[in-house]
Structure 1
């Protein structure tokens, strides 16, 4: 987290923490026909309640928010998280250890639903979900993301280094190699991903630490467009002390994303 982000992060966290259960119930918010799905890790159990609180007070609410955790965490939840469970928010436990669980289990549980994924170390502004859904309403068959990068290649089947995949600045734009970036939020319409999406042997071998790359490959193979939303808004606010454990070091700084995308290219002959 950058030093300049600290005051806003502290103030937003304080505001969210002060919300009562009645505030979080958000009974007057219109309901959208979708599920918000995310996952987390042990080091963030003490702070993820801030993410969940920000999702519960959206201007347009989800039918359900599901947090997928590893089975080993069943008896380790802090009250700040467990007290939020109710009709709008539930926690489910699985044995899968990788970040792909933020989506694949919800796809199995709700195959006919729109699924929206997000990250567990951020606080989302109250119009975040509404803005995603507005673009979905115009392009109901597209995957919608607030943040994207454009995958580039130096030769057929040979991707450029991840740092050369430029952040897409244009809005309301679609391209074959536009990749949704998970932290901004991604909306997946039903049946938009290739049949291999649930193949655990494959994604654990090809993209063990890069669920964004796996889901991009599955959408490309499934013939589904990715579109940056028409109104991405401001970036979500990082939570203080949320980056003690992160995939950024291996995937970005050590170019693990390149190695995993190359593995996908070779396997599927992109």
Structure 2
């Protein structure tokens, strides 16, 4: 019952937030967000201490949920993993892989909650090369090239259908990249001018999936260049979503949005000191536009196209 209430509150928040201002709207928004946070807190505690669901091994799954984190957030990421492990409406088995960087965790013991999740099947892998936000997908693409990879973030309150919806739409559009949250790409506007889209449930090229909502990538949907470390470092080390989107269009893979409604609420106690939104999409320093330009410059020199190929 609490799980249904959480998903209900999470689903109605976007509609409440998008309406024209009305008396009491601010209070209602605070009540809904507080309810989401508190119910999510309790459910994560319940899943971790009482239910203790087993997590599947990647070798026995077609789907691999991939995420990364760093020391400032590792103590809180268990909550994200528990919600990912306790999705509803999925008959398929799916694994969860947490990718960490050796140098960042040198001399740091993993939290007890992560070790407990490992005992239940969570896959934790350490790698040497730190590709920042790209760690979220890069190593999963390398480790499981024939599997469908689903990326999520380490600092969001996900509901019980975040991954379920991605897999549901993957069944309908098996050749498409599937996403929950995204923007419409407009070539002659800066990134901040790309509007949010809702229910773009027809496959297309001109939409931009944002990773915070979760994105599903079928095998080889982004081509081989996507794991070229030299180009990543040269063009967009702090913009994994841009790089993945460019590579998917370069490959000729369409994207499709699910009909999930969600707040995509950041964990209130999640460290945001190094969050990408603070620089990539801020009013002071919009790094996304600079990295779009950098990808375009490289692509023009090497592929005779720019970032907006196939838009």
Tell me the TM-score normalized by structure 1.
0.89
Structure 1, unmatched stretches of 5+, are 155-159
Q: Which of residues 122, 128, 132 is equivalent to 1:95?
A: 128
> Residue in 2 aligned with 1:110?
144
Q: Which of residues 190, 193, 208 is equivalent to 2:222?
A: 193
Contact preservation (8 Å) 1:63, 1:88:
no
How far, CA to CA, are the matches of 1:7 and 1:140 in structure 2?
A: 36
Structure 2, unmatched stretches of 5+, are 1-25, 300-304, 307-311
Structure number having the greater helix percentage = 2
Q: Which of residues 249, 265, 285 is equivalent to 1:237?
A: 265
> Residue in 1 aligned with 2:11?
none
Tell me the TM-score normalized by structure 2.
0.78
Instruction: String of CA shifts for 1:137-191, please: whole Å, max 9, x gaps.
Output: 111000000111122112xxxxx21110111123313332211110111000011
> Residue in 1 aligned with 2:248?
219
Matched, 1:182 2:197: no
> Residue in 2 aligned with 1:157?
none
Structure number having the greater strand percentage = 1
Larger radius of gyration: 2
Aligned residues: 260
How far, CA to CA, are the matches of 1:85 and 1:237 in structure 2?
A: 26
Task: Give the alignment of 1:9-158 within 5 angstroms.
Answer: 9-20=37-48, 23-25=51-53, 33-59=62-88, 60=90, 62-72=93-103, 73=105, 75-86=108-119, 88-97=121-130, 98-154=132-188
Contact preservation (8 Å) 1:64, 1:87:
no
Contact preservation (8 Å) 1:39, 1:102:
yes
Of structures 1 and 2, the one scoring higher in RCO (CA 8 A, sep 6+) is: 1
How far, CA to CA, are the matches of 2:200 and 2:186 in structure 1?
A: 19
